[in-house]
């Protein structure tokens, strides 16, 4: 096996005494440990104002893997990360054209940082290395490495949605973005719909075609473009959830709820997650189904993110205001309908809260996959599982055919789905859960990693078999 070089915006450098990062980091580091590996990216730190340009990566060795990180200047961070990546690509790829902000300055910074990464990474690459680049921050990296003479096999995985042509072409440099994707040998998307959007763009812009074997010719290069839906460490998470009764936070939460049913939502504070619409749906549910007042509690856990972006600060105020309005309207002396928590909750406690919940609300307005949906399913008690209420606009909806699919823009419809989930009989809950759990256990994060690397390292590898559209039930 060739050595694996992983490149991502942030690098999860192991810290002694702390648990490893999420399942993706575990899978990728495991693949690198098996064959030797290098993980390269931003350190998360910024340079002092008088430090000048970064000149070399800082190296850390751990269990056979080299972690190479580089500090960025404040200017680079503003243009590349906060600017073009998160104020142009992120909203546009999540279909939020109204929130996009394009400037040539930010675009220049985006390419400047990708050139910097290429310049610092290229000397560390050997001709036999397989290179796997992750996410929208680093789309141009393969083209930069090719310009530097790198002939290695290179793959790219997009963790967020790939939009249809009518949305993508809002981006002034959309042609350059797709040309950059064509510099890779393998491009992975989350769902078949993302692949269809890519194919439609290529056909409409007359820049390539799909070959009979499923690969594409784009701008004269042959590239494999497939759906590789990201999974989780299913069995590990299920085991953690099963043992969560010993967790103090879980015990206290259960005691505070009494015999009330728990409805749970867990999301980063982001406008793509549909948190405001979800809270409004819960408010409508309480209005339309008053018999549930005092008999259920909705827990929304929402850690803050990207506080430097004005849209996120405005959203935080909106969500907090909605939560206050519901509690002010419906609360009793012995019952608060909505518990809104603005901080991170540990993995073990989350697993236990998922397991205890009767309903999991995962209702993003648009999401590449959404691993919370899969974690909720993995955490359930097989003898008394909860119900997953899932947005049809989450990538996970193409796999989890036992979920109640809902349209998060339809507040009344989502309210009705909450009532249906709470009233669902045990046998139906068990039937729905069983099909989903089998799915996520077979197509877990190890499958995702293995399938992508098979395609990257073997040009003739068969396409993955995980892509299918779930039936609405």
- Known active-site residue 367: yes
CA-wise closest residue to 314 among 265, 277, 364, 271: 271
How far apart, in whole angstroms, are the C-alpha atoms of residue 346 and residue 351?
9
Q: At 349, list the tokens.
A: 């406690």
CA atoms within 13 A on the CB side of 69: 17
Select which of 79, 129, 270, 367 is catalytic. 367
How far apart, in whole angstroms, are the C-alpha atoms of residue 201 and residue 166?
9
φ and ψ at residue 96, rounded to 5 degrees? -105, 70
Q: DSSP 3-state assignment of 7? A: strand
Q: 61-72: string of b/e by CB count within 10 Å (b at 16+)?
A: eeeebbbbbbbb
Q: Is-contact 282 338, C-beta < 8 A?
A: yes
- Known active-site residue 159: yes
CA atoms within 13 A on the CB side of 180: 22
How far apart, in whole angstroms, are the C-alpha atoms of residue 37 and residue 64?
7
List CB contacts of 192: < 8 A, sequence separation 6 or more.
Answer: 227, 398, 467, 468, 469
Q: What is the DSSP string of 50-100?
A: TS-S--SPEEEEETTEEEEEEEE-HHHIIIIIIIIIIIIIHHHHTT-GGG-
Select which of 159, 185, 194, 270 is catalytic. 159
Helices then strands, each counted (H, E), the chain:
17, 16
Q: At 71, list the tokens.
A: 């500090």
93, 94, 97, 98: CA torsion to nearest 10: -150
Catalytic (active-site) positions: 159, 367
């Amino acid at each position: 096996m060739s050595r694996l070089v992983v490149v991502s915006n942030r690098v999860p450098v192991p810290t002694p005494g702390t648990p490893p990062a999420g399942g993706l980091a575990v899978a990728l580091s495991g693949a690198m440990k098996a064959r030797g590996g290098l993980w390269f990216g931003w350190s998360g730190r910024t340079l002092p104002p008088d430090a000048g340009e970064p000149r070399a990566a800082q190296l850390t060795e751990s269990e056979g893997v080299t972690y190479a990180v580089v500090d960025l200047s404040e200017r680079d961070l503003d243009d590349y990360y906060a600017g073009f990546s998160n104020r142009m690509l992120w909203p546009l790829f999540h279909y939020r054209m109204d929130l996009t902000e394009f400037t040539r300055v930010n675009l220049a910074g985006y390419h400047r940082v990708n050139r910097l990464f290429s310049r610092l990474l290229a000397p560390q690459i050997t001709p036999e290395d397989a290179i796997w680049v992750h996410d929208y921050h680093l789309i141009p990296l393969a083209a930069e490495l090719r310009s530097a003479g790198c002939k290695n096999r290179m793959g790219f995985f997009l963790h967020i949605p790939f939009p249809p042509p009518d949305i993508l072409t809002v981006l002034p440099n959309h042609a350059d973005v797709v040309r950059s994707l064509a510099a890779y040998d393998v491009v992975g998307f989350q769902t078949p719909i993302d692949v269809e959007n890519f194919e439609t763009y290529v056909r409409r812009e007359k820049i390539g075609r799909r070959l009979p074997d499923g690969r594409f010719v784009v701008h004269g290069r042959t590239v494999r473009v497939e759906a590789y839906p990201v999974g989780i460490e299913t069995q590990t998470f299920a085991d953690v959830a099963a043992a969560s009764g010993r967790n103090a936070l879980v015990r206290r939460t259960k005691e505070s709820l009494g015999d009330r049913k728990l409805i749970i939502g867990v999301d980063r504070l982001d406008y793509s997650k549909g948190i405001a619409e979800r809270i409004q749906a819960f408010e409508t549910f309480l209005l339309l189904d008053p018999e549930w007042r005092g008999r259920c509690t909705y827990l929304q856990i929402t850690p803050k993110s990207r506080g430097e972006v004005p849209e996120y600060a405005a959203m935080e105020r909106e969500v907090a205001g909605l939560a206050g309005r519901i509690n002010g309207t419906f609360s009793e002396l012995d019952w608060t309908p909505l518990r809104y928590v603005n901080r991170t909750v540990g993995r073990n406690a989350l697993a236990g809260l998922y397991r205890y919940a009767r309903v999991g609300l995962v209702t993003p307005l648009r999401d590449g996959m959404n691993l919370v949906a899969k974690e909720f399913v993995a955490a359930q008690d097989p003898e008394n599982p909860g119900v997953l209420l899932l947005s049809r606009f989450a990538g996970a909806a193409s796999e989890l055919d036992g979920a109640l699919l809902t349209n998060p823009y339809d507040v009344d419809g989502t309210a009705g789905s909450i009532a249906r989930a709470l009233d669902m009989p045990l046998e139906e809950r068990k039937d729905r859960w069983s099909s989903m759990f089998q799915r996520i256990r077979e197509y877990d994060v190890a499958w995702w990693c293995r399938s992508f690397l098979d395609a990257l390292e073997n040009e003739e590898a068969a396409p993955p078999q995980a892509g299918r559209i779930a039936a609405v039930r």
